[in-house]
Amino acid sequence: MADDLFKALADPTRRIILDELAERSGQTLFEICGRLAMRHGLGISRQGVSQHLAVLEAAGLVTTRREGRYKFHDLDTAPLRQITERWPLPDTSAPEENTP
Amino acid sequence: MKIRLTSVFVDDQAAAQHFYTEILGFRTKHDVPIGEKDRWLTVVSPEEPDGTELLLEPLGHPAARTYRDALVQDGIPLAQFAVDDVRAEYERLRALGVRFTQEPLEMGPVTTAVLDDTCGNLIQIATQPE
């Protein structure tokens, strides 16, 4: 599972997809393709975007939801917790040592 | 050569006529019976009564349904209409119960949104700078 996560995050296009889903969750494939093309100048085929989404889905970062005849993609950032559990962040809430 | 007519396949012509005129705001241009139940049914924009007509075509061929359903699943619109203000139109149509699969989105100079025409198709509305 961790390997899937790091593989998913290693690709710049996939990180952009996550950025766009963070702005608005629940996007159709059409919307994701439009955002990549129009906002980022990434002319990737729908099949190519579908493949990126499949990698993100395998990592648990994207989930798909069927609603009637449509299919939407949602962002799930929960798997990112594995990163800070493995390499904890410094505790920024603690008072600084040099504070008088 | 000119584009005078374009078409969308619709599940039900009566329902389509209602949606495209009463909800979207087009006007019926031609409504001529063809055969037992089908009609030559076209609508136009009230802003361009002599402009391009949209044919609301009966979904006769089984392959048309397969094609259309595959596009709808991925959120791909079959037609695009120009509006002055996508956001205002989105609010107006949503208040009338129209379902959107894509809320207004600014993509560079263009703002778009995608709605369900209740007759089997997704339609994109777009505002482009003059």
Query: Residue A50: phi, psi to the nearest 5?
Result: -60, -40
On whether residue A91 sits in a domain, the answer given is: no
Query: Residue B37: phi, psi to the nearest 5?
Result: -130, -15
> Which residues in chain B are closer than 8 Å to A45, comparing Cβ atoms?
none
Supply the DSSP string of B55-119, one letter for each residue: EEEE--SHHHHHHHHHHHHTT--SEEEE-S-HHHHHHHHHHTT--EEEEEEEETTEEEEEEE-SS
A97: pLDDT confidence band, cut at 50, 70 and 90? low
Expressed in angstroms, the distance from the first to the final Cα of chain A is 45
> Could you list the residue range(s) of the whole structural domain that residue A10 is in?
2-83
User: ipTM score of the complex?
Assistant: 0.89
Per-residue model confidence (pLDDT) at position B123: 98
Give the number of domains in chain A.
Answer: 1
Q: Given CB atoms, is B110 within the 8 Å cutoff of chain A? A: yes
Distance of CA A100 to the CA centre of its chain: 42
Residue B27 three-state SS:
strand
Q: Given CB atoms, is B79 within the 8 Å cutoff of chain A? A: no
> Could you list the residue range(s) of the whole structural domain that residue B42 is in?
5-127
Residue B16, number of CB atoms within 10 A of its CB: 25
- Shortest Cα distance, chain A CAs vs residue B113, angstroms: 9
Q: How far apart are CA A44 and CA A20, in angstroms?
A: 15
Q: Which residues of B84-93 are buried (b: 16+ CB within 10 A; e: fewer)?
A: eebeebbeeb
Q: Are strands B38-44 and B79-82 parallel, antiparallel or unpaired?
A: unpaired
Per-residue model confidence (pLDDT) at position B109: 87
- Summarised one tens digit per residue, pLDDT across range A16-68 is 999 999 999 999 999 999 999 999 999 899 999 999 999 999 999 999 999 99
pLDDT at A96 over 60: no
CATH number (domain holding residue A27): 1.10.10.10
Average pLDDT over residues A6-13: 97
Kindly list the distances between the CA atom of residue B42 and the CA atoms of B16, B28, B34, B93, in Å, as whole numbers in the listed order: 10, 6, 13, 21
- Summarised one tens digit per residue, pLDDT across range B54-113 is 999 999 888 999 999 999 999 999 999 999 999 999 999 999 999 999 999 998 889 999
Average pLDDT over residues B20-37: 96
* Length of chain A counted residue by residue: 100
Query: What are the tokens at A82?
Result: 């594995």
- Summarised one tens digit per residue, pLDDT across range A69-90 is 999 999 999 999 999 999 998 9
Closest in B77, B101, B107 to A38, CB measured: B107
Per-residue model confidence (pLDDT) at position A95: 58
The per-residue pLDDT of chain B, averaged, comes to 95
pLDDT at A99 over 60: no
Percent pLDDT > 70 in chain B is: 100
Per-residue model confidence (pLDDT) at position A94: 59
Q: Given CB atoms, is A26 within the 8 Å cutoff of chain B? A: no
CATH number (domain holding residue B26): 3.10.180.10
Q: How far apart are CA A34 and CA B78, in angstroms?
A: 15
Per-residue model confidence (pLDDT) at position A84: 92
Closest in A34, A35, A70 to B73, CB measured: A70
Per-residue model confidence (pLDDT) at position A91: 82
Q: Are strands B122-127 and B79-82 parallel, antiparallel or unpaired?
A: parallel
On whether residue A27 sits in a domain, the answer given is: yes
Q: Given CB atoms, is B66 within the 8 Å cutoff of chain A? A: no
